[in-house]
Every structure is written in C-alpha cells, then in structure tokens.
Amino acid sequence: MKKLHTLLFSASLLMGVAAHAQLKVEIAGVGSNQIPVAVAAFADESVAPEQVSAIIRADLERSGVFRVIDAHQPISDTANVDLAAFKASGADALVVGSVQRLADGRFQVRYKLLDTVKQAQLSQLSDAVTARNTRLEAHRIADDVYEKLTGVRGIFSTRITYVKQDPAAHDYKLVVADADGEGEQVAAHGREPIISPSWSPDGTKVAYVSFELRKPVIYVQNLVTGQRTVIANEKGNNSAPAWSPDGTRLALALSKTGNTQVWVVNADGSGLRRVSNSNGIDTEPRFAADGQTIYFTSDRSGGPQIYKMNVNGGQATRVTFNGNYNISPRLSPDGKTLAWISQRDGGFSLYAMDLASGQEQRLADGATEPSFSPNGKYIMYATRGGGRTALAVVSVDGRVKQRLTTQAGNIREPSWGPFMK
C-alpha cells in the first residue's frame, strides 16, 4: 500500500510545494469585434517583483476579446492624460497606474480605467499587497477591465487544478495554479493515479479520486488547512465526484450494488443515497445550476448518452441524440449550456449545446475532460499532441483557442475553480 502525501496549500499563503515547470500559454484565434484598449506601463512598477502592466496586457490578449495597444510610455494614475490623442490612435479605453513600495514592505498598486470616447473615468482600484500577491493584484485589475468593458465578470484571478504525471518517475501530482498556468502549487501527490478533481463552490476544497489503496477512493481535501476526508470508500469503484452548487453535497458514481449508478452524499461523507436505478451503467454525474437536476452518462439505450434526472431520482430524460457515443457532461454556471465529449468521425470532439434551443456547436477536436470557466465564457479540456497530453482552452463561441503546455510530463484532468470572494 502506498500512502498519498498531502501537502498544505493555501490560496492566500501559498504554502504548497512549487512545481518546477510552469505552463506555457499559446494563443490562436481572436474574438469578433475586439475592443481596442491601450495599456500603459505603470509608473515606478520596476520596484515590484512583477511587472503589473505586462501581466494585465497578457491577460487581456489571452482572452481574445481585446486588441491591446501599447501606450509606449509609463503613465501614472495621477497624470493628466490627453485622452483625445489615445482615441485618435484607435484606443477606446486606456489603462494607467502606479506602484509604490511601502515602509512595511508591501506594494501600493493603483490603477484607473479611462474611456477615451466619453473622456471619462470608468473605474479605479487601489490596494496594498505583499510581494507574493503582486501577480494576483494584476489579475484582479485585468478582471476589472474585462468586466467594465464587456459587462461580464473576468476570470483572470481564478485558479485551476489538474493532474500532472511524470511517467518515468511514476509520480502523480494534483496541482493548483493561476488560470494562466503560473504559480503552480502541489496540493497532493503519490505514486498511484489521481483523477477527477472537482472544486467546491467556495474554492477552499477539491474532491478527487486516488488509487493509493489500489482501488478508486474519493477524498475531499481542504486547500487551506490541508485536512483530507474520505468521502466514499465503498465496495467496488468510487468515482466521478461533483459538487452541488451550494457545496453541501456531492454526486458520485459507485458500483457498490453491482453496475455503476449515481449516488449523492453529504459533503462530510454522511447520508449516502442512491439516485439512479437502471440496468445499465450510470456514471459521470453533474449537478445543474438549480441544484435539483443531475446530468449523467448512461448506456441504458445501448451506447453511452447523456441523460438528466431529478436529484431525488425518478424518470430520466435523454439529452443527446446526435452520435452514438456521448460522455462527460458539464453544465455552464448559468445552467444554459451543456458541454460534453462526442465520438464522431473517428475521433473525440468537444461539443456545446444551448439547452433552450438544442442547437449544437463543435468547439474542438481531440478533446477530453471539459471544464467551464466560472463566467461560462470558456471551456478548458485535455488534449493530446506531440506525444504528450496538455490542456487547452476554447471560448464557447469557438473563436478563441489557447493551449497550455509543459515540458515536464503529461497534464490532464483539468477543473476550473470558482470565483473567489
């Protein structure tokens, strides 16, 4: 028996063990009607350990929503700016700011977002942050720019989790990182597989499956305290944990009574209750946004298809009809869109469906294990290429694509964390 070594991780203190290789982000494609934004270097930002304006610029470019224009000069948030000149250069908005080192070692980061068309200020922020939170502050500023200019909440300051495998060392790491792949921290590791990580809605816990006991067992790990709880170690397979929207329950796939079926359990592991009851295999459950509906994969019709049913059980309704092999249902945070993996034309592809109209869209080929961003605008998934498994991101309209790669082993099983309060 090999013991899984859990390591303390705190989103605020960043006390986990840092992974050596960061992810590299490659961007392909752009959104329609990009918003032109000029981003100036922040005044005196060289005193900070991170160049704040460069992080903001990279975030906005990566989104595909903005056409970022270099302001070609540092501009402080206190400067008297000629906004008409920036409008003439093609920018609809301008980001300016400054960084000041405080006596206690922290850094005062200030920023303003200016509308060059209306000649007005749209937003401003001012925060004192530690050196290690400088990058996070830059992500927060980029989030503010995104929200003020699009009306949609930004996701640059959110975090992701995934499994990194080193085949040569037979080592599996459950890694938590910034949404851009920076700031990797190891939350857990061991010599047996770790799969199916799933974030709690408050972002403090991750449920996952570990094979450390030579069988799949479901755990919940508190990322703040490091405490780990066994949620399901029943006879047979324990797999596919997924949180309810309010964080009080998890849906699971268990084979304790024979064929794998959908079960629900309280977040502390109590109150285990069976939901589905079919002669087939029911697995990969996911709560819908209402917390009362569960989507899942079932072969009850002969091949794997996606169904939905009430959290209390009862009659299941089939959702997917195109293609003979549809798996891995994922619901957007607003409950309006279903993403899943479909095997068609000899390969696995990522599809998205508007649940109101039933209209489907093929978003990416060679995809597995999808996960929505918390604002519902992007989907992260695992993909294979060049002999390695990597992560990729596609916008829900299919226009923007990113690829996150590393030279150190394979990365897969992505799960996009929630908005942090």
179 shares a domain with 138: no
229 shares a domain with 173: yes
Question: Considering the chain, what percentage of its residues have pLDDT values greater than 90?
Answer: 83
Q: Which residues have C-beta within 8 Å of that of residue 330, sequence separation ≥ 6? A: 286, 338, 339, 340, 370, 371, 372, 379
Within-domain flag for 174: yes
13 shares a domain with 145: no
Check residue 6 and give its pLDDT.
Answer: 30
Q: Is the separation of the CB atoms in 84 and 170 below 8 Å?
A: no
217 shares a domain with 141: no
- Using only C-alpha atoms, the chain has a radius of gyration, in whole angstroms, of 23
For the chain, the distance separating the N- and C-terminal CA atoms, rounded to the nearest angstrom, is 39
Q: What is the mean pLDDT of residues 139-157?
A: 97
**What is the rounded average pLDDT for all residues in the chain?**
91
Within-domain flag for 28: no
Distance CA 369, CA 412 (A): 8
139 shares a domain with 83: yes
User: Where is 220: in which H helix or E strand?
Assistant: strand 217-222
Q: How far is CA 100 from the centre of its chain?
A: 32
* pLDDT tens-digit readout, 329-380: 999 999 999 999 999 988 999 999 999 999 999 999 999 999 999 999 999 9
Q: Please name which of 349, 337, 355, 360 lies closest in space to residue 392, comparing C-alpha atoms.
A: 349
CATH code for the domain in which residue 102 is found: 3.40.50.10070
* pLDDT tens-digit readout, 390-414: 899 999 999 999 888 776 678 999 9
* pLDDT tens-digit readout, 181-220: 888 899 998 999 999 999 999 999 999 999 999 999 999 9
Last residue of a domain, one of 115, 150, 185: 150
Sheet containing strand 205-210, edge to edge, reads: 194-199, 205-210, 217-222, 228-232
270 — pLDDT class (breaks 50, 70, 90)? very high
Last residue of a domain, one of 118, 150, 182: 150
Within-domain flag for 123: yes
134 shares a domain with 178: no
279 shares a domain with 348: yes
**Predicted structure pTM score:** 0.91
Residue 21 Ramachandran class (φ > 0 left, ψ -120 to 50 alpha, else beta): beta
127 shares a domain with 254: no
Q: Is the separation of the CB atoms in 378 and 155 below 8 Å?
A: yes
Q: Which of 6-10, 73-77, 326-330 has the lowest average pLDDT?
A: 6-10
217 shares a domain with 115: no
The residues with which 74 forms a beta bridge, in sequence order, are 41
Where in the sequence is the domain holding 258, given as residue range(s)?
5-23+159-416
* pLDDT tens-digit readout, 76-119: 999 999 999 999 999 999 999 999 999 999 999 999 999 999 99
Last residue of a domain, one of 100, 126, 150: 150
Q: Give the per-residue SS3 of 327-395.
A: EEEEECCCCCEEEEEEEECCEEEEEEEECCCCCEEEEEECEEEEEECCCCCEEEEEEEECCEEEEEEEE
Q: Is the separation of the CB atoms in 155 and 371 below 8 Å?
A: no
Q: Report the number of distinct structural domains present in the chain.
A: 2
180 shares a domain with 47: no
